[in-house]
Structure 1
Amino acid sequence: MLETKINESIILPKIYPLTIKAFLDYLVFEKKYSPNTVLAYGTDLEAFSFYCKKTFHREDLENLDYTIIRHWIVDLVDNEVSNRSVNRKMSALRSYYTFLMKSKMISENPMKHHKPLKIAKRVSVPFNQREIEEVLQMMREAEDFISVRNALIVELLYSTGMRRAELINLKTSDIDLAGSLIKVLGKRNKERFIPLLNSLRPSIEKYNFLREANHPKGDYFFMTEKGEKIYPTLVYRLINDYFSQVSSKVKKSPHTLRHSFATHLLNEGADLNSVKELLGHSSLASTQVYTQNSLSELKKMYNQAHPRSVKNH
């Protein structure tokens, strides 16, 4: 199969119609979307294109009536695709047709009146401080390269709140021990600087010593045993495996540590705007998701401390 490399990190099969290819190029080069996002958009549009050919014998996606899109939604739901996944596919279609409108390739957007399907609200529960300390204590006992690396990954995710992809793409030059800062490349290549806690310094120095002894070459900070850049499933597995030993929470992922970072800061009185900057959110609305757990702690404290609380009567 012919392939086209649309940037250094992602290779997509060259099977897309010209309008889809133009749209994906737009996401890569102008919108600066991540490789995973571009791949997901391309996959969703390819699936819709296949459905149109198979069901309606339509070879192109331009100038489609919303009726065809609605048929696809019904087909997806009938095949037990979750409402959340359906909404993600519709988001890809919405962005695609918005692009076609801006490019003046179509005169009417078939998605203009579309409403997302209702989804149940996900309740994400952060790790508590005891669980995090137990994992870190467990991991500090080993001295070999991989164990020291894994311990630093957990500590860094919790101490900085960075995303998994941001951690994977950290380079040795991004760690500034002298200035106590870490440079992070976030979504759409947006740079931000996160203060480096003093408690992290010994762990970083220990890892740097072992990294230099085992894998002195390479730009990326975190390396595999073979001297290659670490990858998403490696990070997910190590977080899930270690926290499964101390936590009964359903979701045990790198994002849960990010959630824990934000929640614990807010519980300790951190300013919402400051947490937003540390997380690299583009809007305050994204950060406000984490206030729900802080409100729970506030309610508990209020009920325990207020003189008129039921427990005092």
Structure 2
Amino acid sequence: MLKGKTYGKQAFRTQKSKEKSLGEVAEKYYNLCTIRGTSEITIKGYKYALKYFNEFNGDSPINSVTVNMYILYLKKNGFKDTTINSYIRKLSPIFNYGHSKGYLPKVEIIELKVQKTFKDIYTEQEMNLLLKPPKQKDFVSIRNWCIVWVFASTAIRRTELINLKVMNVDMVNRVIALNHTKNKKVYSSI
């Protein structure tokens, strides 16, 4: 029997095509991320990487060759290998989600090999200059000096500092309780 035909009182459903555009797949994936509790910054990163990919690819079909051509396109436009890997890593979960739901074909993504380099760190003189108390005693100068001290002393992330509340700081025991973290765990930092 053919699907979509009626025989007697029995109607057989036609199988709808599951194929969806990359934009539709991405929206479904973003919704899933929101349900899972993925941070807004992570979802924003996915959107940013997808924007660059869409500028390159448009509505063309997606496959492993397309991704490789995209990598070459980014290289020709002066993107660093680490940036390219970052964009590819952010596209990968969207492609994998689309493939797992049957919306997109399997796309094999290969990251670029990148030469690791030493990161420049502040010298002792630069740190002393940064941590020196401000000459001006206005709110903004003291606030900025405190922010630099917190970063230098605790190595917390920017978003963790932004979400820090007065009640999270214990000056006596020299402890900062972090309730808003990237991995959703609660930490105490000294």
Q: Does the CA-based 8 Å contact 1:32-1:189 persist in structure 2?
A: no
Q: Which moved more, 1:155-164 or 1:183-192?
A: 183-192
Q: Deviations over 1:25-69 (max 9, x none)?
A: 233331523x3332221122133234333xxx53xx6xx321122
Query: Would the alpha carbon gap of residues 85 and 134 (structure 1) be closer, same or farther in structure 2, given more than 3 Å must change?
Result: closer
Identity, % of aligned pairs? Answer: 21
Aligned partner letter, 2:122:
F
In the alignment, which residue of structure 1 is the partner of 2:9? Answer: none
Task: Name the structure with the higher helix share.
Answer: 1
Aligned partner letter, 2:23:
P
Q: Report matched runs for 1:37-52 at 5 Å.
A: 37-52=42-57
Equivalent position to 1:105, from 88, 102, 107: 102
In the alignment, which residue of structure 2 is the partner of 1:160? Answer: 154
Deviating beyond 6 angstroms after TM superposition, the runs of 4 or more aligned structure 1 residues are none
Query: Would the alpha carbon gap of residues 188 and 22 (structure 1) be closer, same or farther in structure 2, given more than 3 Å must change?
Result: farther
Q: Does the CA-based 8 Å contact 2:81-2:114 persist in structure 1?
A: yes
Secondary structure of the corresponding residue to residue 183 of structure 1: strand
Residue 189 of structure 2 is aligned to residue 194 of structure 1: yes
- Once residues 186 and 179 of structure 1 are traced to their aligned partners in structure 2, the CA distance between those partners, rounded to angstroms, is 21
Instruction: Give me the CA root mean square deviation.
Output: 2.5
Q: Does the CA-based 8 Å contact 1:27-1:38 persist in structure 2?
A: yes
Equivalent position to 1:173, from 167, 171, 175: 167
Q: Report matched runs for 1:281-300 at 5 Å.
A: none
Q: Does the CA-based 8 Å contact 2:95-2:104 persist in structure 1?
A: no
Secondary structure of the corresponding residue to residue 183 of structure 2: helix
Q: Which moved more, 1:173-182 or 1:149-158?
A: 173-182
Shift of 1:162: 0.9
Q: Deviations over 1:233-273 (max 9, x none)?
A: xxxxxxxxxxxxxxxxxxxxxxxxxxxxxxxxxxxxxxxxx
Q: Does the CA-based 8 Å contact 2:82-2:114 persist in structure 1?
A: yes
Q: Report matched runs for 1:51-70 at 5 Å.
A: 51-53=56-58, 57-58=59-60, 64-70=62-68
Query: Would the alpha carbon gap of residues 179 and 32 (structure 1) be closer, same or farther in structure 2, given more than 3 Å must change?
Result: farther
TM-score by length of 1: 0.48
Shift of 1:140: 4.1
Q: Does the CA-based 8 Å contact 1:31-1:188 persist in structure 2?
A: no
Shift of 1:127: 2.1
Q: Which has the larger radius of gyration?
A: 2
- Once residues 107 and 141 of structure 1 are traced to their aligned partners in structure 2, the CA distance between those partners, rounded to angstroms, is 60
Shift of 1:165: 2.0
In the alignment, which residue of structure 2 is the partner of 1:223? Answer: none
- Once residues 75 and 66 of structure 1 are traced to their aligned partners in structure 2, the CA distance between those partners, rounded to angstroms, is 14
In the alignment, which residue of structure 2 is the partner of 1:90? Answer: 88
Residue 25 of structure 2 is aligned to residue 19 of structure 1: yes
Aligned partner letter, 2:89:
S
Equivalent position to 1:132, from 127, 143, 152: 127
In the alignment, which residue of structure 2 is the partner of 1:199? Answer: none
Runs of 5+ consecutive residues of structure 1 not aligned to the other structure: 1-15, 196-313
Shift of 1:149: 0.9
Q: Does the CA-based 8 Å contact 2:25-2:103 persist in structure 1?
A: no
The count of corresponding residues between Structure 1 and Structure 2 is: 168
TM-score by length of 2: 0.74
Query: Would the alpha carbon gap of residues 101 and 191 (structure 1) be closer, same or farther in structure 2, given more than 3 Å must change?
Result: farther
Secondary structure of the corresponding residue to residue 189 of structure 2: strand
